[in-house]
Amino acid sequence: MRLAPAEIFVRSARDELQYVAMSTGERVSWFFTLLGAALVAAPFVSEDYQRKLGNGAFALMFVGAVVSLTAFIVVFLYRSRNRHRRDLVAGRDLLARWTYTAAEWHAFAPGETRRLAADKGLLLKIMGGIMLVAIVVMALIDRRVAVFLAGILVGTWLLCWAIVRVQIRRQSKLEQAPPPEVRISAHALLLGDQLHLWSGWGNRLERCDLDQNPPAQIAITYSTPGGRGRRPTQTVCVPIPTGREAEAAALVQRLAAPD
């Protein structure tokens, strides 16, 4: 059965209170901001330590500065995301708000888990390849610096791998969990607790398609800023509840229309 209106109201109020506080992503970003600052300050702990680092001191400070500055910028990215999340949970400017029966959701969820695992796995392979090339090039220039760089990059890759594993496990658990609620606005989509944002910080909605093959669903594709002019895309699929086909068609028209 779908959620009753009273149950939806109680869940929304509870969720809105949950997202008033600092998000986990923001906390992690602050941690890396401080960690990077510590790496910058490390060579100045003592003259003996600075002499032991040798040429590696500059590499350590450079990596620390990059990590700290990047993480500090990401703090404000997560704050923006959390603001959009609160707006969706509060029901402000929604275009659609859907709930599902267990049968509707379980007919859709397994395919989405496989798609997520394949997409994230490919990204990890590409990232690992780029990092390996960077380490090899640095080793040809300065082996000591390469050791520090390898440590930072391997740690970063492992962190990304852990985040991906958590995302896949979360999506897998959704298959067995009660059907989530979906909230869609002109700028973002909240599927359970998963936020997809295509507004601000260079994000852009690329297309919105209606797929009527069972299970009927909406496919929203958006892009994010990438290096060298490239814009990596991500597609999120949302099943259409029975009886909401006309609403879904109007939603696709609204999102696909130019601003």
Question: What pLDDT is recorded for position 224?
Answer: 82
Q: Is the pLDDT of residue 46 over 90?
A: no
Tokens of 86: 């609160």
Q: Is the pLDDT of residue 106 over 60?
A: yes
Across the chain, mean pLDDT equals 80
Q: Is the pLDDT of residue 50 over 80?
A: no
Question: What pLDDT is recorded for position 156?
Answer: 85
Domain ranges across the chain: 23-83
Predicted TM-score of the model (pTM) = 0.59
pLDDT band (50, 70, 90) for residue 22 = low
Question: What pLDDT is recorded for position 228?
Answer: 58
Q: Between 5 and 72, where is the model more confident?
A: 72
pLDDT band (50, 70, 90) for residue 226 = low
pLDDT band (50, 70, 90) for residue 19 = very low
CA 107 to chain centre: 25
DSSP result, 166-224? HHHHHHHHHHHSPPPPEEEESSEEEETTEEEE-SSTT-EEEEEEEE-SSSPEEEEEEE-
The model's pLDDT over 56-71, given as tens digits with 9 standing for 90+, comes to 777 778 888 888 898 8
Cα distance between the two ends of the chain: 37
Question: What pLDDT is recorded for position 256?
Answer: 83
